[in-house]
């Protein structure tokens, strides 16, 4: 468990988070698949039922264009995501027959249970599923047995079954182990052959064990998860069985301060469908409630209620200390803004927020405390103004600005006048590995969830970037013409080429258009992030596709080959490829010539590799040059003859043309 302790006077509350809590592998996989589909698909996207049992996540997915539906009979096009709980195979077949694209986000553990149930049915077993009859996962498993499986929820229901000669048992993946084992024991005592497949998800079992262990050592237990989540209900039931006061909530706003009165240690766990940002929000709110539930602060709150009239006044910062700020509000003495009242988000120093001379709005918290000081709050004054402005921005779908104050589990806390949460998945258009780079930076974002009564705001910077990118893309598409030379940034490398951003639009730079010379992979010439000039080869405005070329704006090595490689000249070359009819050699990067097999040697050559090898450097004679066809014919045989002839001529010149005994009998001497 991870302890989080805050102290207020003599009062302290320790918050412990279960070692296993929140998204399991299957749920996270389903969310990732859904978000990837939302990015890549251009048509309507639906999920067959809620993707997971968490209304907050489902609402967020709806903002990404993913609509949950219960029936696809009226849908004729688009993409259908199969939720993590899985469905009957008949539904998948029906969707495919309608021409819908299927994205199967079924949890791998659920899929395993489906396959086992199907196989057991085919082998003649009566399948018994241990689980909740109404749960979609269980209904899906039953569908894989052609509706022949029997569902039991507990040992007593198992005891009432007819006797079967062969029984195959599978479990709903979120079943508590003790219940599954008890059902199996009843079946083994009553039935003939019993084959047991323990399809309980290990992550679920570990989460339940962690929650049970934590509940035994805390004074109160908070379970976070969707009200319709079977996993969350089982966690709650397990914790309650320990006799520890246990409360199940969906969001932080459902926390009741009275739950924590006189509590020293509070435990926190979450169901498998609960995202990290909700857990973080609950944990943060528990810390805030801790201040309210401390005896000292209860007295302060009463005093605040009697003295605070909700008046907001302007003041000037006159001094900034390490843990408080003094503000001149025109009273007999300066007012004090404690560090915790400076911002809606946690800050380590007042210097991060204000400086001497700043004019700020403050809320009068106390006209006089025990020491006779005026207690003020900048955070509350900001909040009063901010909520109305933010609500209007949300209604009008306008962009808001804020300062990133903190990196938390699952995302960022942003000061927009009040505290807002920016999930990690909404920070940028792609995955961001290090969120700390945004701390203290001003960002622009859209509000994708707004609830003033619950003091909840969820932001999306990604939505702003996507709009800007789309606008930029449309401008580029409208203005770009074939033949244009534009600047671009390499965004992605693949085996077949590179994708280059030329202004909100990713164009394809095929590997054959990167360089005049042959390359095996784009990484030999390019790196992600490179800024390069490219030529527009083709524009498909309807499908928003652009083909690019880099080599066509580079010097063409074929432009002056006739001057560089004169016919009958001897030049150096490197063998780059062997083919049945000869060898291709490189004269320089981007310029290749062919040595026909008949020109490799002055004898019959069966295979080119009998004479040359790839990578070998050789002298060749230029037979012909055709720049337009980009063809150069070469000869190794003629080059060798020319070299030999030159050597003989040189030798004869040295001997003034006289014939020597060595010329006549040299071969005989060599043999001897």
Show the domains of the chain with their CATH numbers.
2-22+204-297 (3.40.1010.20), 25-107 (3.40.50.11270), 109-200 (3.40.1010.20), 310-382 (2.40.50.140), 399-465 (2.40.50.140), 480-553 (2.40.50.140), 561-650 (2.40.50.140)
What number of CA atoms fall less than 13 Å from residue 69's CA on the CB side? 17
Are 547 and 537 spatial neighbours (Cβ–Cβ below 8 Å)? yes
Give residue 182's pLDDT: 92
When pLDDT is cut at 50, 70 and 90, the band that residue 484 belongs to is confident
Give residue 384's pLDDT: 81
Give the integer Cα–Cα distance in Å for 279 and 423.
12
In sequence order, what DSSP letters do the residues of 362-414 get, joined into one string? Answer: EEEEES--TTSPEEEEHHHHHHHHHHHHHHHHHHTT-EEEEEEEEEETTEEEE
Give residue 34's pLDDT: 86
Give residue 10's pLDDT: 43
Q: Is the pLDDT of residue 650 over 60?
A: no
When pLDDT is cut at 50, 70 and 90, the band that residue 640 belongs to is confident
Give the integer Cα–Cα distance in Å for 633 and 598.
12
Give the integer Cα–Cα distance in Å for 223 and 248.
5
Give residue 447's pLDDT: 94
Question: Can you tell me the mean pLDDT for 74-101?
Answer: 87
What is the spatial order of strands in the sheet that 150-152 belongs to? 150-152, 126-130, 166-171, 193-196
Q: What is the CA radius of gyration of the chain?
A: 38
Question: Can you tell me the mean pLDDT for 459-466?
Answer: 92
Q: Which two tokens stand for residue 660?
A: 């020597």
Give the integer Cα–Cα distance in Å for 662 and 667.
8
**What is the dihedral angle through the alpha carbons of 475, 481, 487, 493, rounded to the nearest 10 degrees?**
90
Beta-strand pair 570-579/582-588: antiparallel
Whole-structure pTM value: 0.40
Give the integer Cα–Cα distance in Å for 236 and 241.
9
Give the integer Cα–Cα distance in Å for 24 and 30.
10
Q: Is the pLDDT of residue 271 over 90?
A: no
Q: Which two tokens stand for residue 645?
A: 């002839």
Could you report how far apart the first and last alpha carbons of the chain are, in Å?
93
**Residue tagged active-site, from 40, 134, 137, 206:** 137
When pLDDT is cut at 50, 70 and 90, the band that residue 652 belongs to is low
Give residue 369's pLDDT: 63
Beta-strand pair 442-451/419-423: unpaired
When pLDDT is cut at 50, 70 and 90, the band that residue 646 belongs to is low
CA-nearest of 454, 437, 317, 452 to 391 is: 452
Question: Can you tell me the mean pLDDT for 428-453?
Answer: 89
Question: Can you tell me the mean pLDDT for 252-258?
Answer: 84
Give residue 649's pLDDT: 55
DSSP three-state, residue 33: helix
Longest dimension (CA), the chain: 131
Sign of CA dihedral 279, 281, 285, 288: positive
The helix, strand and coil proportions of the chain, stated in percent and rounded to the nearest 5, come to: 35, 30, 35
The total of other beta-carbon atoms located within 10 Å of residue 325's CB is 29
Out of 99-113, 308-322, 377-391, 646-660, give the one with best mean pLDDT.
Answer: 99-113
Comparing 13-27, 560-574, 619-633, the range with the smallest average pLDDT is 13-27
CA 200 to chain centre: 27
Comparing 71-75, 127-131, 240-244, 646-650, the range with the smallest average pLDDT is 646-650
- pLDDT, one tens digit per residue, over 41-63 is 778 888 888 887 778 788 878 87
- pLDDT, one tens digit per residue, over 98-137 is 888 889 988 888 999 999 999 999 999 999 999 999 888 9
Question: Can you tell me the mean pLDDT for 313-328?
Answer: 87
Are 557 and 516 spatial neighbours (Cβ–Cβ below 8 Å)? yes
Distant-in-sequence, close-in-space partners of 608: CB < 8 Å, separation ≥ 6: 578, 579, 580, 582, 583, 597, 600
Give residue 257's pLDDT: 85
Higher pLDDT, 653 or 327: 327
Give residue 519's pLDDT: 83
DSSP three-state, residue 12: strand
Give residue 671's pLDDT: 42
When pLDDT is cut at 50, 70 and 90, the band that residue 1 belongs to is very low
Alpha helices in 194-252 (DSSP H): 202-215, 230-240
CA angle, residues 150, 152, 155, in degrees to nearest 5 = 135
Give residue 560's pLDDT: 83
Q: Is the pLDDT of residue 420 over 50?
A: yes
Question: Can you tell me the mean pLDDT for 262-291?
Answer: 82
When pLDDT is cut at 50, 70 and 90, the band that residue 155 belongs to is very high
Question: Can you tell me the mean pLDDT for 318-325?
Answer: 88
- pLDDT, one tens digit per residue, over 354-375 is 898 899 888 888 766 667 678 8
Comparing 106-115, 302-311, 463-472, the range with the smallest average pLDDT is 302-311
Active site residue 592: no
Q: Is the pLDDT of residue 450 over 70?
A: yes
Give the integer Cα–Cα distance in Å for 596 and 636.
9
Q: Is the pLDDT of residue 141 over 90?
A: yes
Q: Is the pLDDT of residue 255 over 70?
A: yes
Higher pLDDT, 386 or 619: 619
Mean pLDDT, the chain, whole residue set: 84
- pLDDT, one tens digit per residue, over 571-605 is 999 998 899 999 999 888 888 899 999 999 989 98
Surface-to-core class of residue 25, CB atoms within 10 Å of its CB (0-12 exposed, 13-18 middle, 19+ buried):
middle
Give residue 669's pLDDT: 45
Alpha helices in 449-578 (DSSP H): 461-479, 561-564
Residue with tokens 């003495």: 333
When pLDDT is cut at 50, 70 and 90, the band that residue 386 belongs to is confident
Q: How far is CA 375 from CA 178, 297, 334, 358, 368, in A?
A: 56, 14, 9, 18, 7
């Amino acid at each position: 468990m991870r302890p989080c302790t805050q102290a207020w006077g003599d009062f302290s509350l320790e918050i412990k988070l279960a070692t296993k809590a929140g998204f399991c592998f299957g749920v996270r996989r389903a969310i990732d698949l859904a978000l990837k589909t939302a990015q890549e698909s251009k048509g309507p996207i639906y999920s067959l039922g809620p993707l997971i049992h968490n209304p907050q996540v489902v609402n967020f997915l709806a903002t990404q264009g993913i609509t949950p539906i219960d029936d696809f009979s009226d849908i004729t096009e688009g993409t259908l995501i199969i939720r993590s709980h899985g469905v009957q195979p008949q539904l998948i077949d029906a969707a495919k027959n309608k021409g819908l694209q299927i994205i199967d986000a079924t949890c791998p553990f659920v899929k395993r249970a489906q396959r086992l149930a199907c196989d057991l049915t085919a082998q003649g077993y009566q399948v018994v599923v241990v689980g909740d009859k109404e749960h979609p996962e269980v209904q899906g498993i039953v569908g894989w047995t052609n509706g022949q499986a029997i569902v039991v929820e507990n040992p007593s229901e198992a005891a009432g079954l007819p006797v079967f000669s062969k029984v195959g048992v599978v479990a709903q993946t979120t079943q508590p182990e003790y219940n599954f084992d008890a059902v199996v024991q009843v079946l083994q005592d009553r039935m003939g052959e019993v084959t047991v497949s323990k399809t309980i998800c290990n992550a679920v079992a570990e989460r339940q064990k962690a929650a049970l262990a934590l509940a035994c050592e805390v004074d109160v237990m908070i379970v976070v998860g969707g009200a319709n989540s079977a996993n969350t209900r089982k966690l709650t039931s397990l914790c309650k069985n320990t006799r520890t006061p246990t409360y199940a909530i969906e969001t932080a706003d459902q926390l009741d301060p009275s739950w924590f009165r006189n509590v020293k240690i509070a435990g926190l766990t979450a169901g498998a469908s609960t995202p990290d940002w909700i857990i973080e929000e609950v944990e943060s709110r528990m810390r805030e409630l801790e201040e309210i539930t401390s005896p000292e602060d209860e007295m302060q709150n009463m005093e605040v209620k009697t003295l605070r009239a909700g008046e907001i006044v302007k003041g000037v910062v006159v001094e900034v200390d390490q843990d408080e700020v003094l503000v001149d509000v025109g009273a007999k003495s300066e007012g004090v803004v404690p560090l915790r009242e400076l911002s809606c988000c946690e800050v380590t120093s007042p210097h991060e927020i204000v400086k001497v001379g700043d004019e700020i709005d403050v809320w009068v918290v106390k006209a006089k405390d025990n020491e006779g000081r005026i207690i003020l709050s900048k955070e509350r004054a900001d909040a009063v103004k901010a909520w109305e402005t933010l609500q209007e921005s949300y209604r009008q779908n306008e962009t808001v600005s804020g300062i990133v104050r903190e990196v938390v589990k699952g995302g960022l806390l942003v000061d927009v006048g009040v505290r807002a949460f920016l999930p990690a998945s909404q920070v940028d258009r792609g995955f961001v590995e290090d969120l700390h780079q945004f701390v203290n930076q001003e960002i622009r974002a859209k509000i994708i969830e707004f609830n003033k009564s619950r003091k909840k705001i969820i932001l999306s910077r990604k939505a702003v970037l996507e709009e800007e990118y789309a606008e930029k893309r449309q401008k580029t598409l409208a203005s770009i013409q074939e033949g244009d030379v534009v600047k671009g940034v390499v965004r992605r490398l693949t085996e077949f080429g590179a994708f280059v951003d030329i202004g909100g639009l990713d164009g394809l730079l095929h590997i054959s258009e990167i360089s005049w010379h042959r390359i095996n992979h784009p990484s030999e010439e390019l790196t992600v992030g490179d800024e390069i000039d490219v030529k527009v080869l083709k524009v498909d405005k309807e499908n928003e596709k652009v083909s690019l070329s880099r080599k066509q704006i580079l010097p063409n090595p074929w432009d002056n080959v006739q001057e560089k490689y004169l016919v009958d000249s001897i030049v150096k070359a490197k063998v780059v490829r062997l083919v049945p009819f000869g060898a291709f050699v490189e004269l320089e990067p981007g310029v290749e010539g062919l040595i026909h097999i008949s020109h490799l040697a002055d004898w019959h050559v069966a295979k080119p590799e009998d004479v040359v090898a790839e990578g070998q450097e050789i002298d060749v004679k230029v037979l012909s040059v055709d720049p337009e066809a980009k063809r150069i014919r070469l000869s190794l045989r003629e080059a060798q003859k020319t070299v030999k002839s030159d050597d003989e001529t040189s030798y004869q010149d040295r001997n003034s043309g006289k014939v020597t005994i060595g010329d006549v009998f040299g071969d005989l001497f060599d043999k001897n």
